[in-house]
Amino acid sequence: MERLLEVSNLEVNFKTYGGEVKAVRDVSFHVNKGEIMAIVGESGSGKSVTVQAIMDLIPTPPGKITYCQNF
């Protein structure tokens, strides 16, 4: 199958006055053509930050995407 999106070992950190916050740690997934994927989780689990990182919408600073591979 044709792979449309691949994310490997995504980590997103934010620098704050209180120190560094690790918002997303070691997230990996892929989506093939014809597949549907949903990201679910508790409030504050990093769903929105994950999607924003994939779309390169994390403001730097204070955010930092330490490793993300998209296709």
Task: Say if residue 2's pLDDT is above 70.
Answer: yes
Which tens digits make up the pLDDT trace of 17-47?
A: 999 999 999 999 999 999 999 999 999 999 9
Sign of the dihedral defined by the CA atoms of residues 42, 39, 66, 59, in that order: negative
Q: What is the DSSP letter of 45?
A: S
CA 50 – CA 24 distance, rounded (Å): 7
Q: What is the pLDDT of residues 51-71, one digit of tens each?
A: 999 998 999 889 998 765 554
Domain coordinates in residue numbering, the chain = 3-67
The model's pTM: 0.81
Q: How far apart are CA 65 and CA 59, in angstroms?
A: 10
